[in-house]
Amino acid sequence: MNFTLRILGTASAMPVTGKYQSAHVLDVHGRSFLIDCGEAVQQQMLRYRIPIMKVDSIFLSHIHGDHLFGLFPLLSTMGMLSRSVPLNIYAPNNFGPVLKFFLSYYGAGLNFEIRFTPLTMKEPEVILSTKSVEVLSFPLNHGLDTYGFLFREKEPQFNVRKDAISEYCLTLKEIGTLKRGEDVIREDGSMVKASEAAYKPYSPRSYAYVSDTAPFPELSSWVKGVDLLYHEATYVQEFADKAAARHHSTTLQAAAVAKEAGVGQLVVGHYSSRCKDISLFEKECKSIFPASHAASDGDLFDLPMKDFQGRK
Amino acid sequence: MNFTLRILGTASAMPVTGKYQSAHVLDVHGRSFLIDCGEAVQQQMLRYRIPIMKVDSIFLSHIHGDHLFGLFPLLSTMGMLSRSVPLNIYAPNNFGPVLKFFLSYYGAGLNFEIRFTPLTMKEPEVILSTKSVEVLSFPLNHGLDTYGFLFREKEPQFNVRKDAISEYCLTLKEIGTLKRGEDVIREDGSMVKASEAAYKPYSPRSYAYVSDTAPFPELSSWVKGVDLLYHEATYVQEFADKAAARHHSTTLQAAAVAKEAGVGQLVVGHYSSRCKDISLFEKECKSIFPASHAASDGDLFDLPMKDFQGRK
């Protein structure tokens, strides 16, 4: 029942020796979601032993090359590996012609369906709902169609306490009732209360990916309370003018979102090649939001199961 | 006056951990020629300190992704680096629509001209001639339009011997005459023979790039006598059936071309991910052609100046 984020690249558009461009892999209960596809994402997946064939869905924030150019090599490899399972791609509308062109030239080797869902929402919307996770997408402010993504684990079923099973001699049918969070009412009128015999094993975990964006008012409410927030911080504060001119964020702007949203932990990346000292990114973020981390390529965030916080 | 080849990738289409795909950089007298553009070629150029802006011309053997997908990230980077010098691209005709689509989506950031020369020849033809080098292209046999390239240093001017300058009290005009290889005839009827006072400082060096191909009869005559021959050897001999089915070559086929062509040195690469032991490629090649080398990513071949072999 893992909830694990691997950051595959922390560079921005200008290539830097040994740093790769934006790509994250979120693994939820063994299901892999790939978020953005900077160049050589497949090399990074090999390096960190992430099975290429396990990718279930791909989420592209926007079509800038540093978030996209690794996609086509990856799709070609999936074709060579004889993938047959459909692949979901969620991306802005303007990705459509890019995909169409790729398929017209390189699609012959792909024997799997690509299900492209164009993103057009003006505020957060659920775009995918599986047994274990719900994914929302929301618009960002980057000068062209750009979207962020929020992955939220679904609330688990109730578990039934072992001691309650023996204490009340629960039948399988009664256990099923308790697992749905319902009280058991027996023929003799006695009752086994779900609130006593059952419990939620954990609280849902959540991760938000805020790709390239300048600040905008709604953002912190859209990522409110997530356990882990990735927010781009292309520049340290010294280059705030460049951030504004290029629809990007600074360290302090990213940290302000984290603070206002009350997230568990902030991770920043997408560093400009101008800013060589990554520790400065972390220092500046921490001045506003102490639980900040400036990511390096390959960083792993394994979110532990949380005790359930709501109604038991 | 260097003539240096750097091999940036030796993998074939299926990605392998830590090995990159086809890309070579040939540097002739300080001018860089990039041959094929596998994914992450720009990362490899950074790693081996090859200035991206020094690339003068790009030669693409064919449009398969493992020879091409690194091109667009590279062009984008040249745009970001404010390249203004035109860039020559020599590639098969079917690269045209690929380039056109790229430029329609990502061309806005490129403020330099791309001069695309489509390759359509049936036998070797000169496609580029500079002060120091001549480049020929010739068709290969890979099931789709695919070309090889031959880079040949131009014959140098004559140098005039220092001792002859003092012995004959040569004037600047007379030195110029000797540099063109012509005899000096003085007003008094005396003669300074070019064959005695002047010499060619070196013999032209040459490199041939034989990309993906199945064997075909004309090939060895087209690369006859080159100093350095790169010939793909996707498979060791055990997989000869796969090589044939996929229009590729085996070690022994590559070595047979080297032997028949009488080249100075053979380098092989483009290894199938099935064949893990690179030393076996070299061993098999050497059984036919002893001066064989199985390349690794990053290998450097610095061809020394050769004493002039022809008429002095």
pLDDT score at B252: 98
Residues of B in contact with A39 (CB under 8 A): 39-40, 42-43, 70, 73
- Distance from the A157 Cα atom to the nearest Cα atom in chain B, whole angstroms: 40
Do B46 and A17 lie within an 8 Å CB cutoff?
Answer: yes
Tell me if chain A has a CB within 8 Å of the CB of B226. no
C-alpha to C-alpha distances, B29 to A114, A215, B55, B126, B131, nearest whole angstrom: 48, 50, 13, 19, 10
Do B15 and A72 lie within an 8 Å CB cutoff?
Answer: no
Tell me if chain A has a CB within 8 Å of the CB of B14. yes
Q: Are B226 and B219 in contact (CB under 8 A)?
A: no
Q: For chain A, list the domains and their CATH numbers.
A: 3-155+203-302 (3.60.15.10), 159-198 (no CATH)
Instruction: In whole angstroms, give the CA distance from residue B272 to residue B242.
Output: 10
DSSP for A49-104, written as a single string: T--GGGEEEEE-S---HHHHTTHHHHHHHHHHTT--S-EEEEEEGGGHHHHHHHHH
Tell me if chain B has a CB within 8 Å of the CB of A98. yes
Residues of B in contact with A77 (CB under 8 A): 14-15
Do B70 and A39 lie within an 8 Å CB cutoff?
Answer: yes
Output the six-digit token pair for A163: 């001691």
Residues of B in contact with A16 (CB under 8 A): 46
pLDDT at B175 over 90: yes
DSSP A1: -
pLDDT digits (tens, 9 = 90+) for A92-111: 999 999 999 999 999 998 99
Residues of A in contact with B105 (CB under 8 A): 63, 97-98
- Closest Cβ opposite residue B14 in set A15, A72, A80: A80
- Closest Cβ opposite residue B15 in set A18, A43, A65: A43
Band the pLDDT of B1: cuts 50, 70, 90: confident
Angle at B73 between CA A235 and CA B27, to 5 degrees: 115
- Taking CA atoms, what residue in B is nearest to A45? B17
Q: Are B168 and B197 in contact (CB under 8 A)?
A: yes
Which residues 38-57 of chain B have a CB within 8 Å of chain A? Answer: 39-40, 42-43, 46-47
ipTM (interface predicted TM): 0.91
Tell me if chain B has a CB within 8 Å of the CB of A63. yes
pLDDT above 90 covers what percent of chain A? 94
- Distance from the B93 Cα atom to the nearest Cα atom in chain A, whole angstroms: 13
- Distance from the B267 Cα atom to the nearest Cα atom in chain A, whole angstroms: 25
pLDDT at B14 over 90: yes
* pTM for this prediction: 0.92
At position A44, the amino acid (one-letter code) is Q
Do A77 and B16 lie within an 8 Å CB cutoff?
Answer: no
Instruction: In whole angstroms, give the CA distance from residue B107 to residue B105.
Output: 6
pLDDT score at B311: 46
Residue indicated by tokens 């012509």: B182
Q: Where are the beta strands (DSSP E) in A227-312?
A: 228-232, 265-269, 292-294, 300-302
Residue indicated by tokens 């292309």: A234
Q: Which residues pair with A207 in a beta bridge?
A: A151, A228
CB burial of A62-94 (b: ≥16 within 10 Å; e: otherwise) equals bbbbbbbbbbbbbbbbbbbeebeeebbbbbbee
Angle at A303 between CA A300 and CA A304, to 5 degrees: 130
Residues of A in contact with B69 (CB under 8 A): 69, 72-73, 76
Counted residue by residue, chain B has a size of 312
Tell me if chain A has a CB within 8 Å of the CB of B105. yes
Residues of A in contact with B106 (CB under 8 A): 65
Output the six-digit token pair for B45: 């150029």
Q: Are B109 and B77 in contact (CB under 8 A)?
A: no
Band the pLDDT of B312: cuts 50, 70, 90: very low
Instruction: In whole angstroms, give the CA distance from residue A269 to residue A146.
Output: 17
Per the annotation, the verdict on B27 as an active-site residue is no
pLDDT digits (tens, 9 = 90+) for B265-309: 999 999 999 998 999 999 999 999 999 999 999 999 999 987 776
Do A13 and B76 lie within an 8 Å CB cutoff?
Answer: yes
Tell me if chain B has a CB within 8 Å of the CB of A264. no
For chains A and B, CB pairs below 8 A equal: 69
* Least confident segment among B22-26, B61-65, B193-197: B193-197
CB neighbours of residue A113 within 10 Å: 12
pLDDT digits (tens, 9 = 90+) for B67-112: 999 999 999 999 999 999 999 999 999 999 999 999 999 999 899 9
Band the pLDDT of A84: cuts 50, 70, 90: very high
Instruction: In whole angstroms, give the CA distance from residue B312 to residue B292.
Output: 31
pLDDT digits (tens, 9 = 90+) for B242-251: 999 999 999 9
pLDDT score at A310: 52
